Every structure is written in structure tokens, then in C-alpha cells.
């Protein structure tokens, strides 16, 4: 780092930091869904990335239909996000009924079955939308950037995604810890048999939780479209990172998931500037694995008496 002055370094850190924010947002949204699903029913959803892609394609469809209407280009995203959520939620709901519910408590088997599902979904996207990547119309108000000083340039879409992510995270927190449904979810996570005994329909809780996790991935897809173009295999690029975020954060901990998504995204984004993207990725992954070996329970974990 000798070639840079302190001021330049600060600017680089600030800019790379904000560049990492978009990555952080998508990663966190993906990880939230995955963490909820894994925490609740120990299902490893390898097709989670494909649910993100569903959201992304839904957003794309909105952009070419709604967005093409006069005067709607600036606002279609507000419709696209709930639609992205809804479509991923719906597919998730169906997948739970058709596949996932047969595999509870066989985590390694869910991993294989959902990988098969991911292959099918990828081919489905390819058949429906073609192998070429598509991109959405980014509304004008997301295109500019905010420049607090001469050297720092923060793209607006990054800020918008961050706001969206924070809202969704808040929503998830409210849902899990403040709503009646969340109480049922937490009950089922803590003790499935007991929850069933006190009258919670655990199967329904599972179904909704799984679908909700997928729906959040759909929102991640909507956010994803504003930073990158979407292809049939876009989701699979995120799946390894997302898993590491969940595991690194300590499965089942909201704070841990946020902290780990943030640190992984920022570490990668900062190192990218100095080492190039592939070495940054290698170093980030190795560091995370290394820390996981020292602390297999993840960043945030409570000691449970068994």
C-alpha cells in the first residue's frame, strides 16, 4: 500500500466500502432467507440462488411491461419488489409441498435434492428467457451518485439497495420477534414436538417459513437487478458465499448473519482493490474457513445446555 497517500487510502476505503455495500445487501438478503430456513428446519437449500433469480426475472418482466408504460419508468420498481417477493414465495410454497417436506431431518439429502431442483430451475430459466443475460431499465433517480468530497463517489443505487435491505431486515426481525407468527416459528425451532402438542400447526409453519425464506431471496433478486444483469446461472454464483455467511454468522442468529454478511462483503470489496477480484475471493473464503475452524459455532452462538 506504499504507493498511496493517507488521504487517497481513506478515499479508497470509503469508496470500496460503499462498493461493498451493494454486495453486502444482496448477500444479507440471500442469507436471511437461508438462515431462517436452515435454522427452522435444518434444510440446506441449494436452490436458494435460483429463487433469487426468480425475483430478478420477475423484476425484469415488470421493467419491460410496467416500466414501458408512459411515466412508469421511475416507479415500476415499487411494484416489482412485492411481485418479486410474491413469485419467489409462491414457488417456494409449492416446492415445500412437493419436495422439501419429505426430507425434514435429512439435511445432507436436502442438499442433494435441492441441487437437482436448482438444475431444473436453471434449465427452466434458460428455456423461458434464453441463455443471454438480461438487464432492467434502471430508473433515472437511481443512476446518479452522491459526492461528499472530490474523491469519493457513491452510487445512488447502492444507497437505495441498502435502504431496502435494512427495511427487509427490520421486517424479518419484527416478524420473528414481535409477531404471533414469529412466535410460532421460534417455538417450532426450539421444540417441534412440544409445539405440535400445544396446538401449533408445525407443518403450516414450516411451509410458510420456507416460502418466506424464498420470498426474501426474491427481494434479493430485485435488488440484484439494479447492480448486475441477470442470467439463468446468476444465482449459483452467490450460493457458496451465502452459505458461508449463514454458517459464519452462527445459524439462527439475526445479528450474527448481519455481522458476517457485512464482514465478508467488506473484506472482499476492500481486498479486491489491492489484489484483484480472484485473489480477494480466495483470501476471503480461506479466512472465513479458518475462523470457522477456530469457532465452529459461528460468530454469534449461545451455549446451550444439552
Partner 1 sequence: MNRLFSFFQDRHAGLGSILLLAIVLMVVMPLVFDIYRLNLAGRYLTYAFVALGLVLCWGYGGILSLGQGIFFGIGGYAMAMFLKIEASDPESTSIQTTPGIPDFMDWNRITELPWFWVPFNSLTFTIIAVLVLPAAFAFLIGFAMFKRRVSGVYFAIITQALAVVLTILIIGQQGYTGGINGITDLRTLMGWDIRDDSARYLLYYLNAVLLIGCLLIGRWVLNCKYGRILTALRDKEERVRFSGYDVANFKVFIFCLAAFISGIGGAMFTLQVGFMSPSFIGIVPSIEFVIFAAVGGRLSLVGGVYGALLVSFAKTMFAEAYPQLWQFLIGAVFILVVLVLPYGLASIYGRFGHRMRTPFERWLGDRKARSSASSGGFQEPLQEKRP
Partner 2 sequence: MSSNTNFLLSIENLTVSFDGFKAIEGLNLYMDESELRVIIGPNGAGKTTLLDMICGKTRASEGSIKFRGKELTRMREHRIVWEGVGRKFQTPSIYEELSVFDNLEASYPRGRSVFGALAFKRDEEVLLRINEVAKEIQLETRLDESAGLLSHGQKQWLEIGMLLIQDPELLMLDEPVAGMSVSEREETAHLLRKIAKGRSVIVIEHDMEFVASLGGKVTVLHQGKILAEGDMQTLKQDQRVIDVYLGH
Give me the residues that bind partner 1 (CB under 8 A), please: 42, 44, 99, 102-103, 105-109, 111-113, 115-120, 122-123, 126-127, 236, 240, 243-244, 247, 276, 278-279, 281-282, 285-286, 288-289, 292-294, 296
Cell numbers given for 174: 419484527
Q: Is 66 or 291 the residue whose CB approaches partner 1 more closely?
A: 291
Angle of helix 6-41 relative to helix 180-190, nearest 10 degrees, comes to 70
Which is closer to partner 1, CB of 61 or CB of 280?
A: 280
CA distance 130 to 168: 31
294 binds partner 2 per the rule CB under 8 A: no
Query: Is residue 305 a contact residue for partner 2 (CB under 8 A)?
Result: yes
Taking the least distance from each CB to partner 2, the nearer of 180 and 305 is 305
Closer to partner 1 by CB, 48 or 136: give it.
48
Q: Does 302 bind partner 2 (CB under 8 A)?
A: yes
Letters for 247-286 (x = contact with partner 2 by CB under 8 A, - = none) are: ----------------------------------------
Residue from 231, 173, 164, 214 nearest 21 by CA: 164
What is the closest distance, in whole angstroms, from the C-beta atom of residue 246 to partner 2 in the complex? 22
d(CA 73, CA 145): 19
Query: Taking the mean position of all CA atoms in its chain, how far away is CA 100?
Result: 20
Q: Closest CB to partner 1 among 1 and 293?
A: 293
Q: Give contact residues for partner 2 (rule: CB under 8 A).
A: 302-305
Amino acid at each position: 500500500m506504499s504507493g498511496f497517500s493517507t488521504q487517497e487510502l481513506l478515499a479508497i476505503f470509503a469508496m470500496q466500502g460503499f462498493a461493498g455495500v451493494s454486495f453486502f445487501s444482496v448477500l444479507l438478503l440471500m442469507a436471511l432467507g437461508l438462515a431462517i430456513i436452515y435454522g427452522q428446519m435444518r434444510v440446506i437449500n441449494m436452490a436458494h440462488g435460483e429463487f433469487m433469480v426468480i425475483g430478478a426475472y420477475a423484476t425484469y418482466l415488470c421493467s419491460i411491461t410496467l416500466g414501458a408504460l408512459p411515466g412508469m419508468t421511475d416507479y415500476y420498481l415499487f411494484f416489482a419488489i412485492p411481485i418479486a417477493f410474491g413469485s419467489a414465495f409462491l414457488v417456494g410454497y409449492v416446492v415445500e409441498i412437493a419436495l422439501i417436506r419429505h426430507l425434514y431431518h435429512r439435511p445432507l439429502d436436502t442438499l442433494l435434492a435441492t441441487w437437482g431442483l436448482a438444475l431444473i430451475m436453471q434449465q427452466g430459466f434458460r428455456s423461458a428467457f434464453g441463455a443471454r443475460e438480461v438487464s432492467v431499465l434502471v430508473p433515472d433517480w437511481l443512476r446518479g451518485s452522491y459526492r461528499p468530497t472530490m474523491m469519493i463517489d457513491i452510487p445512488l443505487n447502492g444507497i437505495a439497495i441498502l435502504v431496502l435491505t435494512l427495511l427487509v431486515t427490520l421486517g424479518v426481525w419484527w416478524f420473528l420477534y414481535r409477531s404471533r407468527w414469529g412466535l410460532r416459528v421460534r417455538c417450532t425451532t426450539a421444540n417441534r414436538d412440544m409445539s405440535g402438542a400445544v396446538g401449533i400447526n408445525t407443518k403450516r409453519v414450516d411451509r410458510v417459513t420456507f416460502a418466506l425464506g424464498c420470498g426474501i431471496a426474491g427481494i434479493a433478486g430485485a435488488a440484484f437487478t439494479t447492480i448486475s444483469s441477470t442470467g439463468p446461472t446468476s444465482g449459483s454464483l452467490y450460493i457458496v458465499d451465502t452459505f458461508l455467511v449463514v454458517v459464519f454468522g452462527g445459524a439462527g442468529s439475526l445479528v450474527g448473519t448481519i455481522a458476517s454478511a457485512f464482514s465478508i462483503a467488506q473484506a472482499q470489496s476492500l481486498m479486491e482493490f489491492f489484489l484483484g477480484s480472484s485473489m480477494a475471493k480466495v483470501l476471503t473464503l480461506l479466512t472465513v474457513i479458518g475462523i470457522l475452524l477456530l469457532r465452529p459455532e459461528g460468530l454469534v452462538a449461545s451455549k446451550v445446555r444439552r
